[in-house]
Amino acid sequence: QLQVVESGGGLVQPGGSLRLSCATPGLNFEYYTIMWFRQAPGKEREGILCISSGGSRTNYIDSVKGRFTISRDTLKNTYYLQMDNLTPEDTAVYYCAADLLACEPSRLGLGAESDYWGQGTQVTVSS
Protein backbone atom coordinates (compact mmCIF):
# COMPACT_ATOMS: atom_id res chain seq x y z
CA GLN A 1 0.00 0.00 0.00
CA LEU A 2 1.32 3.44 -0.96
CA GLN A 3 1.59 5.90 1.91
CA VAL A 4 0.66 8.95 -0.20
CA VAL A 5 -1.49 8.94 -3.34
CA GLU A 6 -2.39 11.96 -5.49
CA SER A 7 -4.63 12.20 -8.54
CA GLY A 8 -6.67 14.60 -10.64
CA GLY A 9 -4.17 15.93 -13.16
CA GLY A 10 -4.92 16.40 -16.82
CA LEU A 11 -4.93 18.77 -19.77
CA VAL A 12 -6.65 22.12 -19.35
CA GLN A 13 -6.78 25.35 -21.35
CA PRO A 14 -5.27 28.57 -20.00
CA GLY A 15 -7.68 30.15 -17.57
CA GLY A 16 -9.20 26.81 -16.70
CA SER A 17 -9.34 24.91 -13.43
CA LEU A 18 -8.40 21.55 -12.01
CA ARG A 19 -8.85 19.92 -8.64
CA LEU A 20 -6.17 17.57 -7.38
CA SER A 21 -6.67 15.17 -4.51
CA CYS A 22 -4.25 13.69 -2.02
CA ALA A 23 -4.87 10.75 0.29
CA THR A 24 -2.54 9.20 2.84
CA PRO A 25 -3.67 5.58 3.19
CA GLY A 26 -0.39 4.55 4.83
CA LEU A 27 -0.14 7.45 7.28
CA ASN A 28 -2.23 8.82 10.10
CA PHE A 29 -4.25 11.68 8.64
CA GLU A 30 -4.21 13.59 11.93
CA TYR A 31 -0.44 13.63 12.48
CA TYR A 32 1.12 14.83 9.23
CA THR A 33 1.75 18.12 7.56
CA ILE A 34 0.86 17.95 3.87
CA MET A 35 2.83 19.72 1.17
CA TRP A 36 2.35 20.08 -2.56
CA PHE A 37 5.32 20.27 -4.89
CA ARG A 38 5.63 20.71 -8.61
CA GLN A 39 8.40 19.99 -11.06
CA ALA A 40 8.40 21.40 -14.56
CA PRO A 41 10.53 19.81 -17.30
CA GLY A 42 14.18 20.63 -16.75
CA LYS A 43 13.43 22.54 -13.55
CA GLU A 44 14.13 21.95 -9.89
CA ARG A 45 11.31 20.65 -7.77
CA GLU A 46 9.46 23.46 -6.01
CA GLY A 47 7.39 23.41 -2.83
CA ILE A 48 4.29 25.49 -3.54
CA LEU A 49 2.16 25.14 -0.42
CA CYS A 50 1.69 23.37 2.88
CA ILE A 51 -1.13 22.72 5.33
CA SER A 52 -0.63 21.84 8.96
CA SER A 53 -1.77 18.54 10.42
CA GLY A 54 -4.67 20.26 12.15
CA GLY A 55 -5.62 22.10 8.96
CA SER A 56 -5.57 25.53 10.58
CA ARG A 57 -2.35 26.85 9.05
CA THR A 58 -1.67 27.13 5.33
CA ASN A 59 1.13 28.78 3.38
CA TYR A 60 1.52 29.41 -0.34
CA ILE A 61 4.25 30.73 -2.57
CA ASP A 62 3.43 34.07 -4.15
CA SER A 63 3.01 32.73 -7.67
CA VAL A 64 0.05 30.53 -6.70
CA LYS A 65 -1.45 32.54 -3.86
CA GLY A 66 -4.97 33.64 -4.72
CA ARG A 67 -5.27 31.02 -7.47
CA PHE A 68 -4.61 27.76 -5.61
CA THR A 69 -6.51 26.72 -2.50
CA ILE A 70 -5.83 23.72 -0.27
CA SER A 71 -8.68 22.22 1.72
CA ARG A 72 -9.19 19.27 3.99
CA ASP A 73 -12.04 16.76 4.05
CA THR A 74 -11.85 15.10 7.45
CA LEU A 75 -14.66 12.67 6.67
CA LYS A 76 -12.89 11.22 3.64
CA ASN A 77 -9.35 11.75 4.96
CA THR A 78 -8.53 13.58 1.75
CA TYR A 79 -6.89 16.88 0.85
CA TYR A 80 -7.98 18.83 -2.21
CA LEU A 81 -5.95 21.31 -4.18
CA GLN A 82 -8.24 23.59 -6.16
CA MET A 83 -6.31 25.29 -8.97
CA ASP A 84 -8.00 28.18 -10.75
CA ASN A 85 -6.94 30.56 -13.52
CA LEU A 86 -4.24 28.19 -14.67
CA THR A 87 -1.47 29.38 -16.96
CA PRO A 88 1.05 27.49 -19.11
CA GLU A 89 3.66 28.26 -16.45
CA ASP A 90 1.74 25.98 -14.10
CA THR A 91 2.50 22.98 -16.31
CA ALA A 92 4.38 20.43 -14.22
CA VAL A 93 4.18 17.13 -12.44
CA TYR A 94 2.48 17.80 -9.12
CA TYR A 95 3.40 15.79 -6.05
CA CYS A 96 1.72 15.47 -2.70
CA ALA A 97 3.99 14.73 0.26
CA ALA A 98 3.74 14.33 4.02
CA ASP A 99 6.01 14.77 6.99
CA LEU A 100 5.98 15.51 10.72
CA LEU A 101 7.47 19.00 10.47
CA ALA A 102 5.61 22.27 10.88
CA CYS A 103 4.01 24.13 7.98
CA GLU A 104 6.23 27.21 7.69
CA PRO A 105 6.72 29.61 4.77
CA SER A 106 10.46 29.01 4.89
CA ARG A 107 9.90 25.39 3.91
CA LEU A 108 8.52 26.36 0.49
CA GLY A 109 10.24 27.25 -2.74
CA LEU A 110 12.94 25.63 -4.80
CA GLY A 111 14.71 22.76 -3.13
CA ALA A 112 11.98 22.19 -0.56
CA GLU A 113 11.88 18.75 0.99
CA SER A 114 9.52 16.30 2.61
CA ASP A 115 9.58 12.67 3.70
CA TYR A 116 6.73 10.63 2.22
CA TRP A 117 5.89 11.18 -1.43
CA GLY A 118 3.19 10.31 -3.87
CA GLN A 119 3.95 9.23 -7.42
CA GLY A 120 2.92 12.51 -9.03
CA THR A 121 0.17 13.61 -11.38
CA GLN A 122 0.72 15.53 -14.62
CA VAL A 123 -0.88 18.95 -15.07
CA THR A 124 -0.64 20.43 -18.55
CA VAL A 125 -1.98 23.89 -19.34
CA SER A 126 -2.11 24.49 -23.08
CA SER A 127 -4.35 25.67 -25.89
SS3 assignment for 57-113: CEEECCCCECCEEEEEECCCCEEEEEECCCCHHHCEEEEEEEECCCCCHHHCEECCC
- The pLDDT profile of the chain, 127 residues, written as one tens digit per residue, is 689 999 999 999 999 999 999 999 888 888 999 999 999 999 999 999 999 998 899 999 999 999 999 999 988 889 999 999 999 999 999 999 999 999 999 999 998 999 999 999 999 999 9
Q: How far apart are CA 38 and CA 47, in angstroms?
A: 7
Q: What confidence score (pLDDT) does residue 26 get? A: 84
Q: What confidence score (pLDDT) does residue 74 get? A: 87
Q: How far apart are CA 40 and CA 94, in angstroms?
A: 9
